[in-house]
Amino acid sequence: MIYLDNSATTRPSPEVLESFTKASSHFFGNPSSIHGIGMEAERLLRKSREQAGSILQVQPNEIIFTSGGTEGNNIAIKGAALAHQNRGKHIITTAIEHPSVLEACHGLESLGFEVTYLPVNADGFVEAKSVKNAIRKDTILVSIMHVNNEIGTIQPIEEIGAIVKDYPKALFHVDYVQGFGKLPLNIDKSHIDLCTISAHKIHGLKGTGLLVVKNGVRLFSLAHGGGQERSIRSGTENVAGIVAFVKAMRLAKEQQNEAVDKICELKKYLINQLQSMAKVKLNTPATGSAPHIVHFSVPGYKPEVMIHALEESDIYISTKSACSSKSADESAVLIACGKDRSVATSGLRVSMSYETTEEEIVFFSQQLKKVIQKLSEVMG
């Protein structure tokens, strides 16, 4: 099997599964319980929080464990908006954010908030000056993703953060789900107030993630209850999932240091192969994009037909974000980039991991050529 849909989810690593099983078996207590078993679980939870903080270079108490990227983004956006609506109701984001950001913003619009959706250029880049031009006295939140989950564009987060910091009423939220473990991001240097990460994008388990909430940032809780996670996200903590997630974080950072050059080379090879195919249109920018994502279109060919044809060779790729892949055929990201409809309705995404091999990318390239050739013959 050649699995090239790692931006949707990754295969959990054996070390992560082992950590989860051990924690589930030996530290099953409720961390809020005051007896010995509960206190053991609480100590393990505290250690995990310290390790996560160390990896991200933030304070341990700035780590809020969540169920993943969608919940983290919703807590950040809705929590910030509801907590600070008395000082303004204006939010800034981009037209190519993850659905969990865009839909959260749409929900807030129904409550009377005003949202500015910044445009992007043909490669999916948002210019920092467009943030500066859009920001107002009543702006309370700017939410911009680090790496686009569909085409891989890297946004100028540090530059944008420098702009937002000059507006003390505005918080800066970054969706770091696709970037973590692939690209560095200094949260403090970028003046980020809120930052989202998900476990299952880095060989962790589904249903775990975190939100960095910098000290001094006030959020309205979306889950009131026992006061866990600084009363931002109440509920009994998923200790085993958190332990496994932090293990995945450590492994991802090690691989980032050791193996990122390898997937950069694989990406370069794949882009060269795609550019040699007459019918293929490349959507991922050749520069300024993440090392693991390559997005392209084959206009005139339905992406689901291409995907199922490749699946016959035991190759698995996707069309776009898994959170929107069953919705309308047209890619909202590609439309926002100004692509014509034939390109926007025929997009395909290859997303690699550190486990991806050169042999797999070579074989994929060969099979893709064969599939396009076969479909060309069928369609005349």
Average pLDDT estimate for 283-289? 94
* Torsion sign across C-alpha atoms 228, 234, 240, 243: negative
Q: How far is CA 279 from CA 175, 275, 292, in A?
A: 33, 9, 23
- Note whether 84 and 248 are within 8 A (CB): no
Return the pLDDT at 328. Answer: 55
pLDDT for the residue numbered 325: 45
Say how many C-beta atoms besides its own lie within 10 A of residue 347's C-beta: 25
Residue 324 has pLDDT above 60, yes or no: no
Q: Is the pLDDT of residue 347 over 70?
A: yes
Q: Count how many residues are written for the chain.
A: 380
The token duo for 9 is 């989810």
Inter-residue contact 148 to 178 (CB < 8 Å) = yes
Q: Which two tokens stand for residue 318?
A: 């996707």
* Confidence bin at 364 (pLDDT 50/70/90): very high
pLDDT exceeding 70 applies to what percent of the chain? Answer: 97
Residue 323 appears among annotated catalytic residues? yes
Helix residue ranges, H only, the chain: 14-26, 36-56, 69-84, 99-109, 128-134, 157-164, 239-275, 303-311, 332-336, 341-344, 358-379
Task: Let me know if 104 is exposed, middle or buried by CB neighbors in 10 A (0-12, 13-18, 19+).
Answer: buried
Options 105, 264, 323, 337, the catalytic residue: 323
Per-chain mean pLDDT for the chain: 95
36-40, 261-265, 293-297: segment of lowest average pLDDT: 36-40
Query: pTM of this prediction?
Result: 0.95
Render pLDDT for 38-51 as a digit per residue (tens, 0 to 9). Answer: 999 999 999 999 99
The reported pLDDT for the residue numbered 320 is 64
- What value does the mean pLDDT take over residues 285-307? 95
Side-chain half-sphere exposure of 337, counting CA atoms within 13 A: 26
What is the predicted pLDDT for the residue at 93? 98
In Å, what is the CA distance from 137 to each residue of 127, 130, 162, 302, 310? Answer: 20, 16, 16, 46, 52
Distances from the Cα of 282 to the Cαs of 147, 249, 289, in angstroms? 17, 31, 13
Per-residue pLDDT tens for 130-142?
999 999 999 999 9
All structural domains of the chain: 2-8+259-379 (3.90.1150.10), 14-250 (3.40.640.10)
Q: What percent of the chain has pLDDT over 90?
A: 93
Q: Check residue 377 and give its pLDDT.
A: 80
Residue 31 confidence class, pLDDT cut points 50, 70, 90: very high
- pLDDT tens digits, one per residue of 91-104: 999 999 999 999 99
Q: What average pLDDT score do residues 322-341 get?
A: 78
Per-residue pLDDT band for 326 (boundaries 50, 70, 90) equals: very low
Please determine, for residue 213, whether its predicted confidence score (pLDDT) is greater than 90.
yes
